[in-house]
């Protein structure tokens, strides 16, 4: 009987202990001072692009249009073969520029010879965007890393950002990027990107999808915010980070005013595309 009680007690205690460890693992860092500005804006996804108007995503035309409307901007940064910082989403150029080549395999000069979506727009260097947004709306800078050694990308990105008078935060799907910022540049506002990788696994293996979905890398990265696919924002891990730990939440990618209003009522920040909301959010 004693053994039975011991086993039952252990069976009941184990979930409690695992739950407590999960709560501790998903903590972040609260109240970064940059949020006083970041929380007041809505963010155009890859710039204010519109294929009907001949304005490609992540182009200078899209960034100028967002700036003129008063929007903050979310943009993507890759490292080139010659160690420059290119603003483009995909690691391969086929979808955006019709060239079957990897961004990391080309120099910045070679990338500049490519044209985006059949227009005359070229792939910007990060410095071009930073020059435009000096003294302007904030930037959400996503660092794109599909490899283990992320040091060069992180170092060069923050060095470029340091040279310009811009308000920004950095986010990445790669926990190593956020870990690097925590260790080497704790002054920078940092965020963990994720989604329900059980449903949208892509190239991730199961052992990678599980911790990313449940935001377990927070144990090592202690992010200032979470950036999550808006459709998945009610997953327990997201509720835990936002509700219990008080971390701000970016919702991406919002494609209607109705969804925007819904997620903003829940206190989330919006990364949007495909419509024109007012630039500034109403904040209490």
Active site residues: 45, 89
Give the whole-angstrom CA distance, residue 86 versus residue 84. 6
Backbone φ/ψ region at 153: left (φ over 0), alpha (ψ -120 to 50), beta: alpha
DSSP characters over the chain: -HHHHHHHHHHHHHHHHHHHHHHHHT------TTHHHHTTB-EEETSS-BGGGTB-TTSHHHHHHHHHHT-EEEEEEEE-TTS-EEE-S-SBSHHHHS---BGGGS-HHHHHTS-GGGSS--PPBHHHHHHHTTTSS-EEEEE---SS--HHHHHHHHHHHHTS---EEEEES-HHHHHHHHHH-TTS-EEEEE--TTTS-TT--HHHHHHHHTTTTHHHH--SEEEEEGGGTTSHHHHIIIIIS---EEEEEE-SHHHHHHHHHTT-EEEE-SS---SBPP--
Closest CA to 192 of 142, 240, 152: 142
Give the whole-angstrom CA distance, residue 124 versus residue 181. 24
């Amino acid at each position: 009987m004693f053994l039975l009680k011991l086993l039952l007690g252990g069976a009941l205690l184990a979930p409690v202990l695992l739950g407590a460890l999960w709560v501790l693992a998903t903590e972040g860092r609260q109240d970064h001072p940059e949020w006083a500005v970041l929380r007041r804006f809505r963010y155009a996804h890859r710039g204010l692009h519109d294929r009907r108007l001949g304005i490609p995503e992540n182009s200078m035309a899209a960034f100028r249009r967002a700036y003129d409307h008063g929007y903050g901007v979310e943009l993507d940064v890759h490292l080139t073969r010659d160690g420059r910082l290119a603003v483009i989403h995909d690691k391969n150029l086929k979808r955006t520029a019709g060239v079957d080549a990897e961004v990391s395999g080309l120099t910045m000069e070679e990338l500049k010879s490519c044209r985006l979506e059949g227009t005359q727009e070229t792939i910007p260097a990060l410095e071009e965007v930073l020059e435009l947004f000096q003294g302007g709306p904030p930037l959400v800078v996503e660092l794109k890393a599909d490899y283990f050694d992320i040091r060069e990308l992180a170092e060069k990105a923050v060095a470029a950002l340091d040279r310009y008078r811009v308000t920004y935060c950095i986010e990445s799907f790669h926990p190593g990027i956020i870990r690097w910022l925590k260790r080497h540049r704790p002054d920078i506002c940092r965020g963990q990107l994720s989604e329900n990788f059980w449903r949208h696994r892509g190239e991730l293996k199961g052992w990678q999808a599980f911790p990313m979905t449940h935001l377990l890398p927070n144990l090592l990265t202690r992010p200032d915010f979470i950036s999550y696919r808006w459709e998945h924002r009610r997953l327990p891990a997201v509720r835990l980070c936002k509700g219990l730990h008080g971390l701000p939440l970016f919702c991406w990618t919002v494609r209607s005013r109705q969804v925007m209003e819904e997620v903003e009522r829940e206190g989330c920040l919006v990364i949007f595309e495909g419509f024109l909301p007012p630039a500034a959010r109403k904040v209490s």
